Structure 1
Amino acid sequence: MSVSNTEPNLQNNRIGALRTLKHYLTIFLTFLLTVGGFLYGQEIPVKTETKIIITDTLEKSPSLETDTLSLNFKSFLTETNERVKDTVKSDTLIPVKEVLADVVEYYGEDYVYLDRKENKVYMYNKAYIIYEDMRIDAGLIILDYNKNEVYAKGIDSAGDYRQRPVFIQGSNKVEPDSIRYNFNSKKALVFNSRTEQNGFNVISEVTKKVNDSVIYLRNVRFTTSKNIDDPEYYFYTRKAKFIPKKKIVTGLTNMYIADVPTPVGLPFAYFPLTEDRTSGFIIPSFGENNSRGFFFQNGGYYFAISDYLDISAMGDYYTNGSYALRGESSYVMRYKFRGNVSVRFENLIDGERGFPGFSQSSIYNIRWTHTQDAKSSPSSRFSASVNLGSSKYFTESINQTNNASALVNTLSSSVSYSKTFEGDPQVNFTIAATHSQNTQTQQISMSLPNLNASVSRIYPFAPKDGTKKGIIENINFQYNLTAENRIQTTDSLFFKPEMFHNAQVGAQHSIPLTTNFKVLKYLSASLGSNYRETWMLKTTRQYYDENAFNGRGGIVKDTISGFDSYRTYNFSASLGTTVYGLFNFGKDNKIQALRHVMRPTVGYVVNPSFDRYYDEFRIPLTAEEAAGELVQYSRFENTLYGPPGKTYSSSIGLGLSNTLEAKVRNRDTTATEPKKVILLNNLNFSTAYNLAGDSLQWSDLRFSGSIPVVPKLDFNFSGSLDPYALDNNNRKIDVFNIDNGGSLFRLTNANVSINYSFSSKDFDKRTTSKDRLENETFRNGGRPDDLFGEAADIYDGQIYEDESPEEEEARTNVDWYNYSIPWDMRLAYTITYANDRRQSEISSQSLMLSTNLTVAPRWTVGVSSGYDFKNKGVTLTQFRFQRDLESWQMSFNWTPIGSINTAWYFFIGIKSSMLSDIKYDKRRESDKRL
């Protein structure tokens, strides 16, 4: 039942009846009349207005126990011709100000008892009381009107203390053993309270709530453990001051693990509890390195600039003088864009200055990723993916334990902006800057910037309504523009003025003109021509100078600055069709039907000769003889797009694509249709015949295809077949191999690759997607999976930070007698065969394997390794061990075998980001100089 009561005082107050005092009034009036008569007989009476004012005032004291009656007679004179007027003033009752300013709502499932004698209300079993923004739920609640207090506690039944009080005020929630709350002062006294603040569980023996902003605690435990009654670790302090949603300030604080005190302690502690991100120091880890001495790593400061932008600045320092600086920033604008920026620099010192073996070097790395929401601006888009720096950064970094990143051979970058102008025709343009860097050769190629523009296809003869038919109506053309400023440099000249000295600038315009039509209803034909004009700002002039090179003579190449251009064109035609073959075996067979789809094509291409763009000069055999070797060259050599072709070519291209499918009986008896299975996917053959060639007119027959073995497992293959034979010196001759006593074709090269990725979740039909932008290895240029080892993030070491409470509960709360072990596996196999000069050898063959197995609800082990069959050795190998310690996490990564890194990394720390600085990590680096 529910009772609402606005009467704060339930006392039975006695109010006495108002007395008129008539007998006193009669005597007093008789006395006045006698005196009045005596005075009237002596003189003429004065005419006076006579009033009787009776003031009856009842003042209500806090106890309401006494009544006060006051009579006031100003004048009482009588006249013979006038009646006496009696005026009574109304009573005034001054009520006591009520203590409770709002309705008090209370409830008890078993009973609600109102004791009027003691002025108390008792509520029992699943009781609650609500007053303003305060609510208390408990097994027993006592409301005392005498003290304006409420007392709540649980129900103790046979040693089982249940229905503990739950005190909620605003957004704060406390679960104590018992509580006292005063309505007047709004103070509370809580015993054995339990509350949660921003991931912190606070257990206090005694809590005194002074007001809404300040709470004092005594004998307090702080922990992030979810087991509040028996936490695996906690921080203990005797006195603390708690300001909700802001901070906790304590006195002497010690860390306990399994109720055992540790020497880890502080004279005072400060725990921020703000819900928003706040700036603060990042506590570094420390240790000792055998070659660089004592160090501090990953210490710095975090700047929480706003909800959309943050910056973290960190650094390392070694006592031998080595140091590292890193800056990380993430930004996001919801429904518009997001990205992150990372700049890393390291100054490395090896050995002792002045002694042999001393070396000093600097390495750096810059990363920037920016993605735009496609809905924010459909007609324009800006994106960035930058990864550049020293070629040896990932192999020499003193604070990098990422095996997969160390195996990266190419660093690439791209920053682009594209815009689309809607209309008919549609115009598109993209301006970008690209970068490609080979970490092995340290060669860098940059395009800074490049421009691509195009105008969509225009059909000048198309009808306004209806479909286009015939060769004339399908005639179309478009316009494409490519302009570029290309820079070729090396790692040592990167970001230096010398890198721009050999920059090449050029532009290329192209106008393709095509049409398509049907021939004999089943053949699709197309005709086309392409006009291309190339511009550049630098050309080359060559000549022989007998006095050059200190009189030895030689070919001199001069760079001519200035605008120059050339124009080329070609013609093409193609004819193709699709042939279907169907073989039915009957519905009673397991294989009911086979379907073979073939797509043969024939193409013809003519490339005219543009020898007019070529010049020539002679190299004399002797100084006296003018005639000599004739050398032809084009002034457009060594330009951005190269010279035009000087050789006339006319070739026919042949191609054939095959797909083989089968219809098999479906194992699902409820299915009404057979199951479709792909047996052979895109088996392609292609070759060409040069009509203008005088020898070796046939090109190699190239083939490629894919055979699906099981879902997610494809058998991919490719290769080349040469129809010509080799002579005794293994050189190709103009004789067919079959005419030289061999087979019809000679296999010159082949490649087979298998990639397979599957897990236990595939059988549960559950898929998970990972954000590649947050993958450290992918941002460094490597594979986003763990085929070459999992990245150990030494900056925070978090393993389970992305798990929701539901996912963690599903992972850890399992039935051991019916436990499905989660696992995953990635497999990659490749083999390459080479026989272009009768070597008949396997040029490369390797098998890579990576797997993870959850051997227990909180134990995960993994391994990434491989075997090189060519070199007969084990490739880079990594073992991983991860342990979920409920509130803590532990990981150990060990790389015992590897050509680049052989090291190990150990980490143990608290999961919660609030206490992420409480951790211990230890690692052994490989010798970067090897």
Structure 2
Amino acid sequence: MHTNLFHIVLLSFFLTFGASDIYSQDISKKRKPITEIQPKKGSVTDSKAKTTVNDTVKKEKDSIKTDSIKPKKAFLEGKVKYKADKYAKIDQKRKLITLYDNAELYYQDIELKSGKIVMDYEKNEVYAGRIKDSTGKYTQYPNFKQGSNVVEPDSIRFNFKTKKALIWNSRTDQGEFNVKAAITKKENDSVYFLKGARFTTSTNKENPEYYFRTSKVKFIPGKKVITGLTNLVIADVPTPIALPFAFFPMNKETSVSGLILPSYNDSNTRGFSLQNGGYYFALSDHYDLTVLGDYYTNGSYGMRFESSYAKRYKFRGNINVRFENLINSERGYPDYSRQNIYNIQWSHSRDSKANPNSSFSASVNMGSSKYFRQSINQSNVGSSLNNTLSSSISYSKTFNIIPQARLSLSATHSQNTQTESINMTLPTLQFSLDRMYPFVGKDGVKKGFFKNINLQYNLNGRNYINTTDSLFFKPEMFKDAKIGFQHSIPLSTNFKLFKYFSATTSANYEEIWYTKTIRKSYDSDKSTVVDRTVNGFDAFRTYNFSASLGTTIYGTFNFGENKKIQAIRHVIRPSFSYAYTPSFEKYYDTYSSDASGKMDKKYTRFEGGIFGAPGLSNSNILGISVSNTFEAKVTDSDTTKTEPKKVMLLNNLNFSTSYNLDADGVTTLAWSPVRVSTGAQFFENKLNANLAATLDPYAIDNSGQRINKYNIENGGSLFRMTSANITLNYALSSKDKDNKKDKSKESQTTRNGGREDDLFGTATDLNDNRKSMFDGSEEEGEDTVSEFFRSKIPWDMTFAYSFTYSNNNRENKISGNSLMISANTDLTSKWKVGISTGYDFVQKGVTYTQLRFERDLASWRMSFNWTPFGTNANWNFFIGIKSGILSDIKWEKRNYPNR
């Protein structure tokens, strides 16, 4: 190992140890254990005796004559309650109360339960200890509780007045720590001393698999902790990892600022490194800040700033800013390179209770296109294989006027990590007025053609920017920004036609404003057509008309109530639509396309606008679509149910096409290709199947162009299949079908743009490697683990299959054919293994493959992730304590991908 584990582990322990509450002191003088006081012959005993000390004091007071001497102050400041199963003996001469067998004593905020309790109410002291049963085994250990502190020792001596205590073999919980000390002395409420203390996060208090042994500890709650010699013990075997003493302050807050120790690693390309070291700032109850850094001996470095914030019933969010300066090879070598990569992630949500009339949200993931592929502090293949980063920030407000108005401002970002192109809107303004029904009567009934007529007003304004990684947030990126405003007033109505048909008609008026237009002209010097940008306000106006008519047809095929399939129900929803947009030739000009000036071409100065340009020709389209669903009624396997069970056979079977009424048969063809799509679920909805195909009725020529001749007239079939796609997703497991993962918590993989499942492997967050395969796998009600193992081995498996067929130009080829598999299982109750892999039948190669192994070591966890081949080939080994308070006590080793 290349890490100084000795210093890292011990320093981590003492930096995190301050979050617990501990008690101790070195006692030089030992006291004899409490001996059992047997009742004298003839003494009065009372089984299940229960009384109070005030009763005894009252009897003494009655027997003394009142004189002129001022009586002494009462020695107890409250009422004492006690009881015991075997006997409760009161010795008035010695001022002792002895309780035996399941003894209990209550005084002020102190609760004491033990096998034997002796109270000296003259000295204000109580003694408690265990007792032996008939077999000679010690039972009924003391349980001492004062306020929220609970101590379970072998014996205890406590003074009610001074609050001092002496405890032998105490056992207590302090936060995540289980503490056991040979001798504990409570000096007062502010100072505790421990001798021979043992600290562990193991749930096995008596026989922990590991613990930290400390010779002496002085503990001042809320202020500081001073420890003596401390070393780590594993399986009762002392390790050489030790520290002579330590001093560090404490804080009563649950979140405490402190150092984050780095991990030591080495890589083939950047040398030795210290990663993820820094400082955690607990700034307030509402927000924090973590600063982390990496350093590599070849000069590479990285910085990360992570902050979470929240205010109850107001908002919550987090922000991560990551930057890396990567150096490859050495200066002077031909393969030397240097690059800066960064990534910014911000997530913000506002509680709806804060203001019901407005909202603000943000989901940002932006930065260098190469970040997830080049970063050496990210092992997230699901993110590196993703080709798109996207962001959205939006604010909306509703104005409760008549008609109701809505205003929203948003900024969006879309980034292709392959081409490094970035599209942004900074910002988008949207304003709308709610629907208005001008012909509705006083009764408010909207029925019929006229009463259903409604109109709206919508405003959409955008500042659109297209740039690249190299120009991002530089002045050049704003140079070619496009600004536009779209005003629209839609007018529509719906009504019933011939009782069974639903009809909708609408008309839409639009006005588009631009701040830039173009002018085309022929440049004789350059012998080419040039576009000249003209700055200034310009606008155009368009309108269109549309109508649709649809109905629903039901059909049922009955097979008999005594059949397994009793009936099949077929629902057909045909729909016809018509859309007309006239020609807006008035917005078109001409330009010369050659030096002669005789070749004129038409263009519009609004070309390239973000809301499009007015059309030159009429658009006269008739659309046809048919939607089908199939459902079956089957006899339920549960004989107690009288009604048949409904089973969905096909969720949808859709056909759609369109006909151009203005087609000339040369430049435009009348029929568009028929689009067919269907989807179904099988095996109790575990298998999702989707099929889509494109069918073209026209033939093609030798160059692959569609011609005005039907394919069947050209010697082919009725339709020519130009493309088809099939996707299958199948997930199954040994657990109940309703046992699904909680998707309410967004993982870092999803935020980075990766898949929610692990078909591309699980992500390894090098900042915190404690995400376990065991997390959430054990739930109440599942098979219990026997001495060897459970009879049913838990497992889960996910399949994803994709098939794509292409035949646009008679190529008749399979362009995509791949299968991906992910599986996880428990080899034993403590061993989990998993694999993610796949095969591409077109490229004839294995896709991304990851092997996962994990061992549950009770308080520790060990994991090994391995990607054996490919550009992302790497491995990662980790072993560390599960508890977050000791998160720095770990050892990890990894091999970086060759990037």
Q: TM-score, normalised by structure 1?
A: 0.88
Q: Does 1:851 align with 2:823?
A: yes
Q: Does 1:6 align with 2:54?
A: yes
Residue in 2 aligned with 1:154? 130
Deviation at 1:530, TM superposition (A): 1.0
Which runs of 5 or more residues in structure 2 are unaligned? 1-48
Q: Does 1:698 align with 2:674?
A: no
Candidates 430, 441, 447, aligned match of 1:452 = 430
How far apart, in 1, do the equivalents of 2:477 and 2:784 lie? Answer: 57
Aligned partners of 2:365 and 2:389 also within 8 Å: yes
Deviation at 1:198, TM superposition (A): 0.8
The 1:269/1:811 distance shift into structure 2, 3 A limit, reads farther
Q: Does 1:789 align with 2:761?
A: yes
Pairing 1:151-300 to 2, within 5 Å after superposition: 151-157=127-133, 158-244=135-221, 248-269=225-246, 272=250, 274=252, 276-300=254-278
Pairing 1:182-581 to 2, within 5 Å after superposition: 182-244=159-221, 248-269=225-246, 272=250, 274=252, 276-465=254-443, 467-547=445-525, 549=526, 553-581=527-555
Pairing 1:715-726 to 2, within 5 Å after superposition: 715-726=689-700
Deviation at 1:814, TM superposition (A): 5.2
The 1:197/1:630 distance shift into structure 2, 3 A limit, reads same
Deviation at 1:812, TM superposition (A): 7.5
Q: CA RMSD in A?
A: 2.2
SS at match of 1:473: coil
Residue in 1 aligned with 2:69? 93
Q: Does 1:904 align with 2:870?
A: no
Larger radius of gyration: 1
Pairing 1:578-589 to 2, within 5 Å after superposition: 578-589=552-563
How far apart, in 2, do the equivalents of 1:13 and 1:525 lie? Answer: 101
Q: Does 1:709 align with 2:682?
A: yes
Give 1:161's aligned amino acid. Y
Give 1:484's aligned amino acid. R
Candidates 840, 861, 867, aligned match of 1:868 = 840
Residue in 1 aligned with 2:95? 119
Q: Does 1:680 align with 2:680?
A: no
Deviation at 1:129, TM superposition (A): 1.1
Between 658-667 and 468-477, report the one with greater CA deviation. 468-477
How far apart, in 1, do the equivalents of 2:783 and 2:293 lie? Answer: 36
Residue in 2 aligned with 1:825? 797
How far apart, in 2, do the equivalents of 1:554 and 1:805 lie? Answer: 68
Pairing 1:39-50 to 2, within 5 Å after superposition: none
How far apart, in 2, do the equivalents of 1:185 and 1:615 lie? Answer: 101
Matched residues, number:
845
Residue in 1 aligned with 2:607? 637
Deviation string for 1:505-541 (max 9, x for gaps)?
A: 0011111111111111111111111111111000000
SS at match of 1:309: coil
Deviation string for 1:150-209 (max 9, x for gaps)?
A: 111112222422211111111111110111112232211100000111111111000111
Residue in 2 aligned with 1:46? none
How far apart, in 1, do the equivalents of 2:734 and 2:212 lie? Answer: 40
Deviation at 1:111, TM superposition (A): 1.5
How far apart, in 2, do the equivalents of 1:766 and 1:161 lie? Answer: 46
Deviation at 1:817, TM superposition (A): 6.4
How far apart, in 2, do the equivalents of 1:254 and 1:117 lie? Answer: 50
The 1:15/1:428 distance shift into structure 2, 3 A limit, reads closer
Deviation at 1:242, TM superposition (A): 2.5
Give 1:591's aligned amino acid. I
Deviation at 1:359, TM superposition (A): 1.2
The 1:680/1:670 distance shift into structure 2, 3 A limit, reads same
Deviation at 1:368, TM superposition (A): 0.1
Deviation string for 1:200-220 (max 9, x for gaps)?
A: 111100011111121100011
The 1:201/1:748 distance shift into structure 2, 3 A limit, reads same
Deviation string for 1:717-750 (max 9, x for gaps)?
A: 1111000112233322111011111110000001
Aligned partners of 1:198 and 1:275 also within 8 Å: no
Residue in 2 aligned with 1:769? 742
Deviation at 1:826, TM superposition (A): 2.3
Deviation at 1:243, TM superposition (A): 3.3
Residue in 2 aligned with 1:834? 806
Deviation at 1:865, TM superposition (A): 1.1
How far apart, in 2, do the equivalents of 1:588 and 1:175 lie? Answer: 69
Give 2:397's aligned amino acid. K
Residue in 2 aligned with 1:889? 861
Deviation string for 1:314-354 (max 9, x for gaps)?
A: 00111211110000000111222211000000011111123
Aligned partners of 1:458 and 1:476 also within 8 Å: yes
Which runs of 5 or more residues in structure 1 are unaligned? 18-57, 59-90
The 1:804/1:878 distance shift into structure 2, 3 A limit, reads closer
Aligned partners of 2:789 and 2:828 also within 8 Å: no
Aligned partners of 2:115 and 2:140 also within 8 Å: yes
Residue in 1 aligned with 2:27? none
Give 1:263's aligned amino acid. P
The 1:924/1:750 distance shift into structure 2, 3 A limit, reads same
Aligned partners of 1:649 and 1:693 also within 8 Å: no
SS at match of 1:102: coil
Deviation string for 1:593-646 (max 9, x for gaps)?
A: 11110011111111111111111122346xxxx453222211111222232110
Deviation at 1:377, TM superposition (A): 2.1
Aligned partners of 1:811 and 1:857 also within 8 Å: no
Calculate percent identity across the aligned residue pairs: 54
The 1:454/1:730 distance shift into structure 2, 3 A limit, reads same
Deviation string for 1:65-117 (max 9, x for gaps)?
A: xxxxxxxxxxxxxxxxxxxxxxxxxx412112222111111111222112334
The 1:810/1:278 distance shift into structure 2, 3 A limit, reads farther
Residue in 2 aligned with 1:662? 632
SS at match of 1:416: strand
Residue in 2 aligned with 1:45? none
Deviation at 1:9, TM superposition (A): 6.6
How far apart, in 2, do the equivalents of 1:150 and 1:16 lie? Answer: 27
The 1:334/1:618 distance shift into structure 2, 3 A limit, reads same
How far apart, in 1, do the equivalents of 2:776 and 2:753 lie? Answer: 29
Residue in 1 aligned with 2:33? none
SS at match of 1:593: strand
Pairing 1:728-743 to 2, within 5 Å after superposition: 728-743=702-717
SS at match of 1:222: strand
How far apart, in 2, do the equivalents of 1:834 and 1:804 lie? Answer: 43
Give 1:235's aligned amino acid. F
Aligned partners of 2:391 and 2:413 also within 8 Å: yes
Give 1:471's aligned amino acid. F
Q: Does 1:916 align with 2:887?
A: yes
How far apart, in 1, do the equivalents of 2:61 and 2:678 lie? Answer: 102
The 1:803/1:179 distance shift into structure 2, 3 A limit, reads farther
How far apart, in 1, do the equivalents of 2:488 and 2:642 lie? Answer: 53
The 1:373/1:826 distance shift into structure 2, 3 A limit, reads farther
Residue in 2 aligned with 1:109? 85
Residue in 2 aligned with 1:38? none
The 1:800/1:813 distance shift into structure 2, 3 A limit, reads farther
The 1:839/1:801 distance shift into structure 2, 3 A limit, reads closer
SS at match of 1:730: coil
Deviation string for 1:457-504 (max 9, x for gaps)?
A: 111112232532221111111111111000000000111111101000
Aligned partners of 1:311 and 1:327 also within 8 Å: yes
Aligned partners of 2:528 and 2:594 also within 8 Å: no
Deviation at 1:580, TM superposition (A): 0.5
Aligned partners of 2:784 and 2:790 also within 8 Å: no
